[in-house]
Structures are given as C-alpha cells and as structure tokens.
Amino acid sequence: MSGCCAHIRRWPRPRFVRQAPSKAVGSRPSWYRPSPAPRQRPCHSVWIPGLPAKSQHWSGHAQSASVRSYHAHPRASSATGTTTPHLHKQRQDHALTSAKPPSISIHQQLKANTAVWHSKLDSTAVLRQLIRPELTLAQYVAALQGLLAAHSKVEHQLQQLAASAPEVCPAGLPAYRPRLPALRADLIRLGAIGEIPKAPRQLPTASVTQARAHYIGIRYVLEGASQGGKMLSTRISAQLPQLITQGAFSYWTQLEAASDDWTALSHYLAQPATNTEALTAIITGAETAYQGFIETFQSPQA
C-alpha cells in the first residue's frame, strides 16, 4: 500500500449469501418480508360520469364494491368507453324515477266513467230495432218519435246552459246543430208526429266553469251519436229506400254533417284531466244526458 491512505486497512467487501430456494412449490426465502398494504383513505364522494350532479353524493361507508372498484380504476371504464353494470343500473333507476307518468286526458276519463251508461243506451229497444234486418216503416217511425222526445229533453238542457253565459261554449268548438228540426221534418213527411215531453229541470250550476263543464258533458253524448250515424243511415236507406224519395232522411243527413263537430270536441277533450272539479262536472253532464235518453226510450210512449 502506498499513498496517504496506506495506513487504512481495506477489508474485503462483504457478500450477502442468499439461501437456496426451497424445493417446495410456491415457497419463499426466509429473508422475504411482504411490504404492508398501502393505507387507503375512505372516499366520501365519487364522481361518476353520465349521472346528474344531484346523484353524485355517495357516502364512503355505504359504497358498494363496484363503486369502490370504479373509483380505484377510473380509467378502466373511461378509456374503453364501455358502461359497467352498476353504472347501467344506476342510469336505469334514475330514468325510472325522473320519468313523468303519462297524463290521462279528459276523453279517457269521460269514456271510462260513462261506459256503463253507454252500454245501457245501446241496449234499449228503440236503438236496437234500427239495426234489425227486418226493419219496417212503422218501427222506423216509432224510433224517430223516441229520438224526438229524447232530443227535446236533452237539447233543452243544453240550450239553458248555453244561454246562461256567452262563454259557456269553449273557443274553437262550433255551436251545437239542433237535431229537433230535422226530426220534426222527417216525421211530418211520414205523416206522423211525436209528443214533446215537458221541459226538464235545469242542472244546478254554481259558476260559469261548472256550467261549461256540464255543457261539454251533454255535447259529448249528443255529438257521439254521429259516430254510429253513418253506419245506421247506410243500413236504413238500403232497407227503406222510400225515405230518400219522400225526403224523410233529414235527421241522418244532419248527423253526418255534425261529424266535424265531434272532431272539434275530441280535440278539446284531449287535454289532460288536471282539474278534478271540472272533470266531475263534465261526467255529471254526460250522465244526465244518458239518463235523459234512457228514460225516454224506456217509457211506454217510446
């Protein structure tokens, strides 16, 4: 050794001798010590893309394993562009809770609440004999007399409501086309005339809104007759062609012309049934009209 550091004794560098690995499969050397797992702080909020802000608040203690795995590996789903199952279910749940229930229209409510009355009216003898294949002229005249008496009662109530206030008939709905003049003209040409019943009592109305609701309910029944009028007029004209030659077919011509009024009324009834009080009044008006027709058709004079 030479130089200034000659007095320092250089020891050989120690060598670490590792033990030979054990022949057992999966065993580790004795010097191996596993490193402790990194401490993870509880996550109190997880931002999940694709969900609204109000649904992003999650408690760290209430998180499921799938949400924690998404937070631990956020790039795994965003890079591939795929949606994990738990995200798909959360989006479905959010869509179900945020979707508004379908609104029910006035027409649907009115049709459902008056279905029994409609069935009773169709089963009356006056209307059933009009669809018989062996319809005679005498039976047809008796049916017209029943229609005259029923329309006189129901149309009188409608006229009273229309005269109570000028705004009873809604805007966009044409004025009612009376059927009474056509029925009287047909009966006169056939040499018969029906008895006009007494004027019925007026429906009690507390306001213009309630009067309008009753008016709409009565017109629902009167205008609804135009839907089956075309079928009946075709069958009656084929069985009794002399009605056309004698000019005693005015009632069915009037019904066919009133089909446009039914279209306008259907547009009005298509609005959602949000006002419960008005809906109840509309149903009451329709039931009153049905009751007037049924009572007249079931009377001994009909």
Q: Is residue 287 part of a domain?
A: yes
CATH number reported for the structural domain that contains residue 202 in this entry: 1.20.910.10
41 three-class SS: coil
pTM for the whole structure: 0.65
Q: Is residue 206 part of a domain?
A: yes
Angle between helices 250-257 and 259-269 (to 10 degrees): 40
Report the alpha-carbon distance of residue 221 to residue 199 in Å, rounded.
19
Q: Is residue 267 part of a domain?
A: yes
Q: Is residue 25 part of a domain?
A: no
Q: What is the pLDDT along the chain (302 residues), one digit of tens a residue?
A: 555 555 555 556 556 555 555 555 556 666 667 666 666 555 544 455 555 555 554 444 444 444 444 444 444 444 445 545 555 556 655 554 555 556 789 999 999 999 999 999 989 888 888 888 889 999 999 999 999 999 999 999 999 998 887 889 998 899 999 999 999 999 999 988 755 555 555 556 568 888 999 999 999 999 998 888 888 888 999 999 999 999 899 999 999 988 889 999 999 999 998 889 999 999 999 999 999 999 988 876 55
Q: Is residue 65 part of a domain?
A: no
What is the pLDDT at residue 66?
46
Instruction: Tell me which residue range forms the domain holding 268.
Output: 117-298
What is the pLDDT at residue 90?
60
181 φ, ψ (degrees, to nearest 5): -60, -40
Residue carrying the six token digits 């069935």: 119
> How many domains are there within the chain?
1
Report the alpha-carbon distance of residue 150 to residue 127 in Å, rounded.
12
At a CB cut-off of 8 Å and minimum separation 6, what does 202 contact? 157, 160, 161
Q: Is residue 43 part of a domain?
A: no
What is the pLDDT at residue 71?
45
Q: Whats the size of the chain, residue-wise?
A: 302
Q: Is residue 1 part of a domain?
A: no
What is the pLDDT at residue 16?
54
Q: Is residue 276 part of a domain?
A: yes
What is the pLDDT at residue 158?
93
